[in-house]
Structure 1
Amino acid sequence: MGKPLKVGIVGCGAIIAQYLANFRKLNQIELVAVADLDPARAQAVADDHEGVRAVSVDELLAADDVELVLNLTIPAAHAEVALKAIAAGKSVYGEKPLAATAAEARQVLDAARKAGVAVGCAPDTVLGTGIQTARKAIDDGLIGAPISASATMVTPGHERWHPNPDFYYQPGGGPLLDMGPYYVTALVTLLGPVVSVVGAASHTRSERTIGSGPRQGEKVPVAIDSHVTGVLVHASGALSTLFMSFDAVKSKSPNIEIHGERGSLVVPDPNHFDGEVQLFPLGADEWETLPVSAGYVDAGRGFGIADLAATEPGAEPRAGGTLAYHALDVMESVLESARTGTAVPIRSSAERPASVELTVLTDRVGALQAQEATRS
């Protein structure tokens, strides 16, 4: 791995806690600086992490010791912050989506290529043992040639638990753009890139009622379709069906199923890093649970950055910008197809990322504990 990759974080909202918890464990990453529009939030992070300083966004982007900027700002600011970081000669890793639109995401990739820096993007859940064990089962031929897949995400709406759910029901929100990155990224990782899509969409209500927090009972207008279905045609010939809903109540269907000529797979929730993979081979009497056989063990948010740090210069990271751009392009195209009533070809493409062998990354906390035990 060499020296740790020195990281600066822009945006200290709620999601940062998950990254910080994993950074403490990963030898491959060294957090050196944090910034936020609210200086107090950045200072609170710095106070809790030795060797980390709180600075302004401009100071972080100009810092000589920041090699990669972790972009945890709101989606509308993803492209702006990424482009500024790239202009400053920094690599970038962003929360999903890579940008608010596929056009902005393309600008980020083009700028990074010209600057010779790397771009990575969540979700890195696909690097965990759940999706990677399923990927290995497919690669090992356990289901034969893949024929089809289904991806299901059903919830009656985030307003039931989220105190400020407005964004989910405005342009740029909705079930597909909110949760779709996990599912589409997993489908591309498992089955390869998508070449065309057909979509349909609907909504059942013109407003939603906030169910918790100080705004409980307040009405939120709905300006997007809250139920989206789509058929993705993969370059391999496999067909994936998406079912993403903020309208329906519950589903007993697995999050993702993959069907092949000689068997079927149940794939765990792509919003998690682990989970059971189940196989039903042709001629079997029941499902069997496959042993964990691939992926980063005990992974969490930020493992994609550690993977990027181990990627050869100039090579595409597994949780890379090209894959994130392709997933965003696919989702936008499903919504375009729903509006126009016609099939939409996908202009972008992404190589199926390299698989991850079963790997335990160095545990910094465990290593320190071992050193202390040796001294005593």
Structure 2
Amino acid sequence: MGKPLNVGIVGCGAISAQYLASFRRLGSVRLVAVADLDQSRAQAVAKTYDDVRALSVDALLADPDVELVLNLTVPAVHAEVALKAIAAGKSVYGEKPLAATTEEARTVLDAAKAAGAVVGCAPDTVLGTGVQTARKAIDDGMIGTSVSATATMATPGHELWHPNPDFYYQPGGGPLLDMGPYYVSTLVTLLGPVVSVTGAASHTRSQRTIGSGPRAGQVIPVEVDSHVTGILTHQDGAISTLVMSFDAVRTKAPNIEVHGEFGSLVVPDPNRFDGDVELFALGSREWETLPVSAGYVDAGRGFGIADLAATPAGAEPRAGGQLAFHVLDVMESVLESARTGSSVTVRSTVPRPEPVPLTAVKIRPGHGSAQAGMADVRA
């Protein structure tokens, strides 16, 4: 509080550009160093950013100026990098999922607790105006008691556009672990924690062909299920149906719908920060677009780090490690149910994160105007 949080990035792949765009705007976050196993990628980022140093991974983790490590590595090494950062006295914010397995994720949370470090994790899209406006509508009783929800993600596969899609089809990948965090995080934010699941999954192709980039035409193996369906029972009784697929061509289904006794909500794409929330109230003749009423305005990837920086000591960030662990536990439980053919009790739980009031954050000079600081969110 009162000074920017100094951040170092480990992993300068494609997703880093979105974080960099936010950091240039956010007054509460200061990027000081970047690192990548491919040093040329780190150097390329440093050249585009004032006062940012390109370091080796070990040098960044040891750098006393770095207070928080933004972990943008591939899922298979999320836990390894996070544990090294915590051991070096840093807090950590990671791309989703928190780790490749809940076992690894638990070691990260335990190490952070012992060290007094803070753990945050994507997705922070749930902090934007789209999901938060939907949450406020639910909290304000606009649909009455929540009864059910549907969440659908359907695509023919990321190999069509991604030049190096291998990890999407290796253990730790697949449509559920890749895209599921956006949808499950949103369902937990809207409806609360999940207590049990039933899952089914299928594996339709053993190979995929890369469709773009220098490896176009190369065939890669598929080692995971590429279509997953889950039935999630929430603590308060609502039941969500989750469909995550790399085997479907297209869908017209809303990304997320929530149904209650007095109305239904269409929730915008949970992979975005904004979007229209639509309500069809009992007795209405048409859908109504709700006014934006909650969430960080004009948010982007990295706003979860700014929210973490504004979180009082000892409190859990909204995009925190406990939520990310529960989401990973839910997804693992769906896959376990699909393997065993039996319902699975979800062992973890988490409180619904605190709601985000409608907030325009403090923006760096030259990148827009400020209406409210991040600290105002916790007032």
Q: TM-score, normalised by structure 2?
A: 0.95
Deviation (angstroms), 1:173: 1.2
Residue 272 (structure 2) aligns with: 272
Give the CA deviation at 1:132: 0.3
Once structures 1 and 2 are overlaid, which stretch shifts more, 214-223 or 12-21? 214-223
Counterpart of 1:5?
5
Stretches of structure 2 that go unaligned for 5 or more consecutive residues are 371-379
Asked if the contact 1:205–1:222 (Cα under 8 Å) also holds between the matched residues in 2, the reply is yes
Matched with 1:151 is 151
The match for 2:46 is 46
| Residue 209 of structure 1, CA deviation | 2.2
C-alpha contact 2:86 2:92 (8 A) present in aligned 1: yes
Query: Residue 373 of structure 1 corresponds to which residue in structure 2?
Result: none
1:184-333 equivalences in 2 (<5 Å): 184-333=184-333
Count how many residue pairs are aligned between Structure 1 and Structure 2: 370
Q: CA deviation at 1:59?
A: 1.6
Whole-Å separation in 1 of the counterparts to 2:341 and 2:264: 31
Q: Deviations over 1:179-234 (max 9, x none)?
A: 00000000000000001100001122222222223333332222211111000010
The residue aligned with 1:374 is none
- Name the CA distance, whole Å, in 2 between partners of 1:159 and 1:138: 37
Matched residue, 1:167: 167
Q: Which residue of 2 aligns with 1:341?
A: 341
Q: Distance in 2 between matches of 1:216 and 1:368?
A: 40
Residue 81 of structure 2 is matched in structure 1 by 81
When the two structures are superposed, what TM-score results if normalisation uses the length of structure 1?
0.96
Match of 1:66 in 2: 66
**What is the alpha-carbon distance in structure 2 between the residues aligned to residue 92 and residue 236 of structure 1?**
31
Measured at CA, do residues 342 and 367 of structure 1 come closer, stay the same or move farther in structure 2, by a change above 3 Å? closer
Alpha-carbon distance between aligned partners in 2 of 1:255 and 1:130, rounded to the nearest angstrom? 12
Aligned-residue offset at 1:369: 8.7
Letter of the aligned partner of 1:159 in structure 2?
E
Report how far residue 166 of structure 1 moved: 2.0
1:24–1:365 contact (8 Å) kept in structure 2: no
Amino acid in the other structure paired with 1:164: N
Give the C-alpha shift of residue 367 in structure 1: 6.8
Kindly provide the amino acid, as one letter, of the partner of residue 49 in structure 2.
Answer: H
Residue by residue over 1:101-138, the C-alpha shift from the partner in whole angstroms, topping out at 9 and shown as x without a partner, is: 11101110011011111000000000000000000000
Q: Which residue of 1 aligns with 2:375?
A: none
CA–CA distance in structure 1, aligned partners of residues 40 and 218 of structure 2: 29
Q: Which runs of 5+ in 1 are unaligned?
A: 371-376
Hey, what's the Cα distance between the residues in 1 that align with 2:64 and 2:83? 17
- What is the DSSP-based 3-state SS (H/G/I as helix, E as strand, rest coil) of the residue aligned with 1:98? coil
Displacement of 1:269: 0.3
Using the aligned pairs only, state the percent identity.
77
Instruction: Say if 2:362 and 2:369, in contact at 8 Å, map to a contact too.
Output: no
Instruction: Give the equivalent residue in structure 1 for 2:116.
Output: 116
Measured in 1, the distance between the counterparts of 2:261 and 2:68 equals: 44
Shift of 1:57: 1.6
Other-structure match for 2:179: 179
Q: Secondary structure at the match of 2:153?
A: strand
The answer to whether the 8 A contact 1:268-1:275 is kept is: yes
Q: Per-residue displacement from partner, 1:123-168 (whole Å, max 9, x unpaired)?
A: 0000000000000000000000100000000011112222222222
Amino acid at match of 1:256: I
- 1:29 corresponding residue in structure 2: 29
- Post-superposition, which runs of at least 4 consecutive aligned residues in structure 1 deviate over 4 A? 367-370
Q: Counterpart amino acid of 2:133?
A: T
**What is the rounded CA distance, in whole Å, between the counterparts of 1:2 and 1:65 in structure 2?**
17
